[in-house]
C-alpha cells in the first residue's frame, strides 16, 4: 500500500491497460502520482507524454525526464546536486 505522504513516478511505455487499474488500487487517496507515458498509451490526465520510440529505446527515453525531476527536486530542497547524501556508503573511490 502506498501512503498518502508518498510520491510516486509511474512510467508507462507499453500498452498494458492494467497498469492504470494497478495505480488506482495501490495508491492511497492524496498520494502524489506523476505519470510519464508514451503517446501510444497516454490517457487524459497523464502529466508528461513522450513521443513514441522504438521499444528498445523506450527505457532510455524515460530516463531523461526522471533525471530532470530528481535534479530539480534536489535544487528545490536546497541540497547540493554534486554531493549526494550517503553516497560514500554505496560508492568507494580508491
pLDDT value for 66 = 92
Asked if residue 76 has pLDDT above 90, the reply is yes
Q: How many Å apart are CA 82 and CA 20, to the nearest integer?
A: 35
Given 3.40.50.12280, 3.10.180.10, 3.40.50.10490, 3.40.630.10, which CATH number is that of 7-90? 3.40.50.10490
Determine the 3-state secondary structure of 4 from DSSP: coil
pLDDT value for 67 = 93
Closest C-alpha to 14, from 58, 47, 51: 58
pLDDT value for 71 = 93
Asked if residue 8 has pLDDT above 90, the reply is no
| Mean pLDDT of the residues in the chain | 79
**Tens digits of residue pLDDT in 38-50:** 888 777 878 888 8
Kindly report the length of the chain: 94
Res. 75 pLDDT band, cuts 50 70 90: very high
Amino acid at each position: 500500500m502506498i501512503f498518502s505522504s508518498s510520491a510516486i513516478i509511474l512510467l508507462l511505455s507499453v500498452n498494458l491497460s492494467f497498469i492504470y487499474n494497478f495505480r488506482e488500487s495501490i495508491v492511497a487517496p492524496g498520494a502524489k502520482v506523476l505519470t510519464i507515458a508514451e503517446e501510444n498509451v497516454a490517457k487524459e490526465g497523464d502529466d508528461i507524454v513522450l513521443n513514441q520510440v522504438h521499444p528498445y529505446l523506450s527505457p532510455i527515453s524515460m530516463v531523461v525526464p526522471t533525471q530532470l525531476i530528481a535534479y530539480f527536486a534536489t535544487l528545490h530542497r536546497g541540497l547540493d546536486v554534486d554531493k549526494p547524501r550517503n553516497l560514500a556508503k554505496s560508492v568507494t573511490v580508491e
